[in-house]
Amino acid sequence: MTRGRLLLLATIVGAAAVVALAPLAGPAPLGLRQIIDAIIHPSGADVVTVQIVRLRLARIALGFVTGASLAAAGAAFQTLLANPLATPYTLGIAAGGSFGAFLALAVPAMAALGVFGAVPVQAMLWAGLELALLWALTRRAQWGATGLILAGVTLNFLFAAGTVFLRLVADPFRLQAMDRWLMGGLETVGWGPAETAGALALPGLIVLLAMAPALDQLTYPDALAYGRGVPVGRVRVITLVAGAWVTAACVAQAGPIAFVGLLIPHGVRLLFGAGHRRVLPASIFAGGAFLVASDALARSLSILGRGAELPVGVVTALLGGPVFLILLTRAGRR
């Protein structure tokens, strides 16, 4: 077995270990035997323990899907945009989703729309609208990677301005919920968010994995990629749509969670090299494990003794920032 396959196997095993141990973490201490009994024999276990385990498992599932999707999208966007600092949020997708979520939270009349007025649905719709607008601008002007980044950053600012305006005119009693959503979180009362995020993100992840050989060619100049039979324009559009789709699906359910899409692809590339046949699968498992572990830490900590959880988006930033600087320092010494 080659070194790359061994590393990928180790990544998968490590991710499985993190997922298996994550239910142990939380404000209510549970033992491994209690968790196993609650899963295998729920009728004979304590009712409260069963409910806690079910909530934690649903949360872990949402965290793994979200982390895997953000990491895979980040790896693809860094290649697509030829920018090592690109993230799933660089093109303004999270800003569009945040505007939609704030619209649902700030405007009471949105409740009249029923399910279409819900926070996740509005976040997904506005993230999709931002992507459609970006695609239309890019197609009309025929921009390259630099123009795409500039257009995405501009739309990011525009939607961010709209979000600030909604905060300004919103009922003050709604501001806490709006700010809490913006920090990102995996709190859930059932399997619905995880199932929705997984069902929406899975097709996009499959497309990104299928695009791995073509993404390898995008690391070379366009003329060379064309000469090797790669339809560069089509690959960029498909990668953009697939990466944006999985990002929007996760932002709609968990909010904008920082650093996963930046940190994980860089760490994976240091271990696996630049080949996307290894980078994308490894990013999926490493990203899922990282966010699950971060959330386990978040729900184990209370804020200033008040019993409130630390938002997982804060944890990923606090963990990801120093680790990313260490990775950059080590890469610079090579």
**Mean model confidence pLDDT for the chain:** 86
Ramachandran assignment for 74, one of left (phi > 0), alpha (psi -120 to 50 degrees), beta (any other): alpha
Q: CATH number, domain at 20?
A: 1.10.3470.10
- Distance, C-alpha 90 to centroid of its chain: 13
Give mean pLDDT, residues 37-41. 84
- Which of the two residues, 159 and 175, has the higher pLDDT score? 159
Give residue 139's pLDDT.
Answer: 72
More confident residue, 146 or 204: 204
Three-class SS state of 243: helix
Whether residue 305 has pLDDT greater than 80:
no
Judged against a pLDDT cut of 80, whether residue 331 lies above it is answered with: no
- Residue 4: predicted pLDDT: 75
Q: What is the pLDDT of residue 286?
A: 96
The 10s digit of each residue's pLDDT in 46-67 is 888 888 889 999 999 999 999 9
Q: What angle do CA 120, 90, 81 make, to 5 degrees?
A: 130
Q: What would the mean pLDDT of 133-137 be, rounded to a whole number?
A: 84
d(CA 329, CA 23): 34
Residue 225's pLDDT is 78
Name the residue among 198, 238, 196 with its Cα closest to residue 215: 238
User: Does pTM surpass 0.85?
Assistant: yes
Residue 302, pLDDT above cutoff 70 = no
Nearest to 151 by CA among 81, 215, 102: 81
**Orientation angle between helical segments 276-300 and 3-21, nearest 10 degrees:** 20
Residue 309 three-state SS? strand
CA 95 from centre of chain: 14
| CA–CA distance, 196 with 53 (Å, rounded to integer) | 20
pLDDT number for residue 108:
80
> H/E/C letters for each residue in 77-120?
HHHHCCCCCCCCCCCCHHHHHHHHHHHHHHCHHHHHHHHHHCHH
How many separate domains does the chain show?
1
pLDDT tens digits, 223-233: 787 877 888 88
Phi, psi angle pair for 302, to nearest 5° = -110, 155
Predicted local distance difference test score (pLDDT) of residue 287: 95
pLDDT tens digit sequence for 230-259: 888 888 889 988 999 999 999 888 888 988
Give the chain's radius of gyration (CA, Å). 20
Domain that residue 227 falls in: 3-333
Tell me, what's the pLDDT at 10? 93
pLDDT band at 157 (very low <50, low <70, confident <90, very high): very high
Per-residue confidence (pLDDT) for residue 306, from 0 to 100: 56
Return contacts of 159-168, CB within 8 angstroms, 24+ apart.
Answer: 159/92, 159/95, 159/96, 159/98, 159/99, 159/126, 159/130, 160/95, 160/98, 160/99, 162/99, 163/95, 163/98, 163/99, 163/102, 166/99, 166/102, 166/103, 166/106, 166/107, 167/102, 167/106
Residue 198's pLDDT band, with cuts at 50, 70 and 90, is very high
CB-neighbour burial class of residue 49 (10 A; exposed 0-12, middle 13-18, buried 19+): middle
The pLDDT, as a whole number, for residue 109 is 79
Q: Given this model, what pLDDT does residue 126 score?
A: 92
